[in-house]
Amino acid sequence: MAIPENCPLCKASAAKQAVVTSHVYGSDENFSRAFFHCESCDVRYQFPSLTPDEEARFYTAEFESFMANRAGSAGGWQKAEEHIVANELTRQRRMKYIERHLKEGASILEVGCSSGFMLLPFSESGYSCAGVEPSGVFSEFVKGKGLKIYDSLDNLIKSRPNELFDLILHFFVLEHIAQPVDFLKRQLSLLKPGGKIIFEIPNANDPLYSVYDIPAFEHFYWSVAHPWYFSEISTHYLLKKLGLPYELIREQRYDFSNHMVWARDGKPGGMGRFTKTLGEDFEESYKQVLIKTGYCDTLVGIVTKK
């Protein structure tokens, strides 16, 4: 197994780097990859890293089928309409922290807008919206609804030079980006003064891994499509590099039912399975406990441009 010479985020020495797992979901079995943990900045990262070609492949058609396999047929990844319905609760959860950052008539850019389930309701409410989506199936669908969608940030900038946004959103994108600091800096350059970047990432302290330590989850979690897994500590490290005010919020996406199905069957897809029996209140308090203790599955970053 190849060993990194230093941490790709904080440059700490090889002595601070330890293997987390060599089970890399979706990886070519003939190619030896692993995830490492940096004791210094607490980031987890894939090594050897993906080549630019490999990285690009995960942003196009391959990514969709990959996600469909992961989410199971109920995820509705293949069809944009189903995807929108399947993600309505996610959208509502996100709106709770996005709403207070929305100014009337704000211009919104979402990087990785998928089926448009976040952007389309914004557009219907009168916000000016643009999206970046490399997946052909989804971008055609959202374009069909009248939104301006570009296959890359480069092409958006080429088509709309000098345009600045009030809000830039991305959800579960940053962990796919080889150079996350550059990625965020580039978005800052596309923001108006006082504008904000709001993003979600998986938390490396996911309870299925850090509390319950479910072997089937470990095999599933560490994905070849992710160069990085950030914890709260490593996200603070990353965001401090921008030198701007920011907030970091804990969120919990998956419920107790999902966790029970992981524990019982070693599979995803259990969301809501036992909610009728246990009650919404129970599911909500379970999520709140995970958020309070920090063993939650999601982190939200909010960065403000001066």
Smaller CB distance to Zn ion: residue 2 or 30? 2
Only one of the segments 5-13, 88-96, 106-114, 264-272 lies at the binding site for Zn ion (rule: CB under 5 A); that segment is: 5-13
Smaller CB distance to Zn ion: residue 1 or 15? 15
- Annotate each residue in 104-123 with x if it binds Zn ion (CB under 5 A) or - if it does not, as one string: --------------------
Only one of the segments 2-10, 60-68, 107-115, 298-306 lies at the binding site for Zn ion (rule: CB under 5 A); that segment is: 2-10
Instruction: Count CB-CB contacts under 10 A for residue 74.
Output: 11
Only one of the segments 7-15, 138-146, 216-224, 292-300 lies at the binding site for Zn ion (rule: CB under 5 A); that segment is: 7-15
Give the integer Cα–Cα distance in Å for 290 and 106. 33
Smaller CB distance to Zn ion: residue 84 or 239? 239
Q: Which of 55, 57, 120, 109 is nearest to 83 (CA)?
A: 120
Query: How do strand 165-171 and strand 191-202 relate by DSSP bridges?
Result: parallel
Smaller CB distance to Zn ion: residue 115 or 203? 203
Classify 119 as helix, strand or coil.
Answer: helix
- Is the distance from CB of 242 to CB of 303 less than 8 angstroms? yes
- Is residue 12 near Zn ion by the rule CB under 5 A? yes
Q: Where are the beta strands (DSSP E) in the chain?
A: 17-21, 34-38, 44-47, 107-111, 128-132, 148-150, 165-171, 191-202, 228-229, 246-251, 298-304
Q: Which of 146, 185, 155 is nearest to 168 (CA)?
A: 185
- Is residue 153 near Zn ion by the rule CB under 5 A? no
Q: Which residues pair with 18 in a beta bridge?
A: 37
Whole-number minimum distance, CB 49 to Zn ion, in Å? 14
Interface with Zn ion in residues 30-89 (CB under 5 A): 38, 40-41
- Is residue 7 near Zn ion by the rule CB under 5 A? yes
Give the integer Cα–Cα distance in Å for 44 and 122. 34
- Is residue 233 near Zn ion by the rule CB under 5 A? no
| Tokens encoding 34 | 């692993």
Query: Residues binding Zn ion: what is the number (CB under 5 A)?
Result: 7
User: Which residue from 4, 10, 164, 269 is in contact with Zn ion, where contact means CB under 5 A?
Assistant: 10
Smaller CB distance to Zn ion: residue 10 or 20? 10
Q: Which residues are near Zn ion by CB under 5 A? A: 7, 9-10, 12, 38, 40-41
